[in-house]
């Protein structure tokens, strides 16, 4: 399997054997599809986070629950992604959104990677309009239970909770979308956007590893990664894999599910560990 992140030079040299997926999405409600139409990597396909990478939201489920495997397979097929496709996904925020598609594909045994640096890193002028899609064969596969966590899996001495949201949301000082501010008690705030350098590219693997080790991660096997709705949490999981820490677990419901469940304790501020 290819690494979870690849640079633009790798993409250019393998371009004829890749499917490139644009996974732009914005928390503030802007349209990723409109951004795609205004300019994208040539021949890329647009993969809609809400429609293709998530099931129906709802009370007790979170904003972006994982879709049913059959629904995900249909979405991939209609995007021209086949069982044997090698997929490189990008966005315009350093890969923190594109990581959701990449994690979903890798978790089900498919070759996929985030384009390091995103749209701006690709060495060609953007293409406008909508790319043509070809129906492909993509076989449904169950989400692997060993890579997932639920509300009952968030406590215990063997669990290290990493919250990938920005510090303001973690502390509860700012909550733009979910009904309650704060974080899951005992979580450590490791913002996924801090995995990136000033130019929007991924930090070197050794720097990433130091970040995780400073958060108490010696192996990703102990980690449950969450965020607002199970999207940007995938970036931390892929970064841990890249720097040799192994595979952690995703809490797909994340804060949007947790804070909607009755009786769940909520913490605010910067807890000391």
Active site residues: 227
Model confidence at 49, pLDDT cuts 50, 70, 90, reads very high
| Domain boundary assignment for the chain | 5-121, 145-258
* Overall fold of domain 5-121: Oxidized Rhodanese; domain 1 (3.40.250)
Asked if the model's pLDDT at residue 129 lies above 90, the reply is: no
Mean pLDDT of the chain: 95
145-258 shares the fold of 5-121: yes
Q: Which two tokens stand for residue 225?
A: 């990664």
Q: What is the reported pTM? A: 0.96
Q: 145-258 has which CATH code?
A: 3.40.250.10
What is the model's pLDDT at position 273?
Answer: 57
Asked if the model's pLDDT at residue 59 lies above 90, the reply is: no
For residue 147, CA distances in Å to 16, 171, 192, 203 come to 31, 27, 19, 25
3-state helix, strand, coil in the chain (%, to 5): 30, 15, 55
Asked if the model's pLDDT at residue 249 lies above 70, the reply is: yes
Tell me: the pLDDT tens digits for 209-228?
999 999 999 999 999 999 99
Asked if the model's pLDDT at residue 272 lies above 70, the reply is: no
**How confident is the model over 127-143, as a mean pLDDT?**
88
**Sequence-ordered list of residues with C-beta below 8 angstroms from that of 224, at least 6 positions apart, any chain:** 149, 153, 154, 159, 160, 161, 162, 248, 249, 250, 251
- Cβ(249)–Cβ(161) below 8 Å: no
Asked if the model's pLDDT at residue 257 lies above 80, the reply is: yes
């Amino acid at each position: 399997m290819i690494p979870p992140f690849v640079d633009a030079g790798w993409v250019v040299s393998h371009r004829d054997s890749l499917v490139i997926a644009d996974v732009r999405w914005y928390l503030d409600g802007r349209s990723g599809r409109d951004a795609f139409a205004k300019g994208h990597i040539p021949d890329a396909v647009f993969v809609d986070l809400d429609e293709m990478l998530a099931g129906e939201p709802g009370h007790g489920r979170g904003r972006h629950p994982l879709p049913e495997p059959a629904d995900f397979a249909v979405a991939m097929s209609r995007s021209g992604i086949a069982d044997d496709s090698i997929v490189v996904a990008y966005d315009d925020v350093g890969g923190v959104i594109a990581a959701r598609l990449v994690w979903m594909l890798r978790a089900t045994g498919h070759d996929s990677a985030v384009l390091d640096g995103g749209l701006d890193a690709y060495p060609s002028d953007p293409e406008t309009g909508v790319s043509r899609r070809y129906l492909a064969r993509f076989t449904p596969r169950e989400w692997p239970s060993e890579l997932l966590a639920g509300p009952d899996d968030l406590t215990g001495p063997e669990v290290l909770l990493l919250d990938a949201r920005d510090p303001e949301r973690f502390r509860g000082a700012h909550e733009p979308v979910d009904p309650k501010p704060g974080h899951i008690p005992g979580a450590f705030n490791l913002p996924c956007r801090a995995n990136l350098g000033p130019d929007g590219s991924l930090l070197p693997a050794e720097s990433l590893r130091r970040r995780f080790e400073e958060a108490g991660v010696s192996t990703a096997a102990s980690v449950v990664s969450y965020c607002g709705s199970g999207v940007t949490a995938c970036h931390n999981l892929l970064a841990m894999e890249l720097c040799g820490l192994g595979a952690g677990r995703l809490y797909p419901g994340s804060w949007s599910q947790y804070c909607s469940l009755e009786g769940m304790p909520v913490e605010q501020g910067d807890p000391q560990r």
